[in-house]
Amino acid sequence: MLIKERLALLKAGYSKEEINAMIDDDQAKIDEPVPEEKSAPIDDYMNVIKALASEVKDLKEAVYTQNIDKTEISSGSTKSAEDILAELFSAPKKED
């Protein structure tokens, strides 16, 4: 409490003991711990994050599997293995 406030209280008719009691009350209110609002526990948030990460992982694996299943492998040649080996071992024909 400021001196100006104390003087105003004295002029208003309060005694020194009453003013000191007011100061003590004010000090007690300041010293009192303010009750903190209970915030959501971090564990709950961590569980949600873990669940989301697990779902993302599952979705990614599902997309990979689906992509592999839909992929068609087309070979450029329709020759059989016997035709390819015959071409390798046969002599090229010379044209006149």
d(CA 51, CA 72): 34
Confirm whether 77 is domain-assigned.
Answer: no
Domain count of the chain? 2
Asked if the structure places residue 56 within a domain, the reply is yes
Give, for all 96 residues of the chain, the pLDDT tens digit.
678 887 888 888 888 888 888 887 777 777 666 666 666 677 888 899 999 999 999 999 999 999 988 887 776 667 788 888 888 888 666 665
Specify the pLDDT at position 79: 79
Residue 82 confidence (pLDDT): 86
Structural domain of residue 59, as residue ranges? 40-71
The answer to whether residues 25 and 48 belong to one domain is: no
Q: Give the other-Cβ count within 10 Å of 27's Cβ.
A: 11
Cα 83 to Cα 3: distance, rounded to the nearest angstrom: 111
Whether 1 contacts 26, CB under 8 Å: yes
Q: Are residues 44 and 61 in the same domain?
A: yes
Any domain includes 89:
no
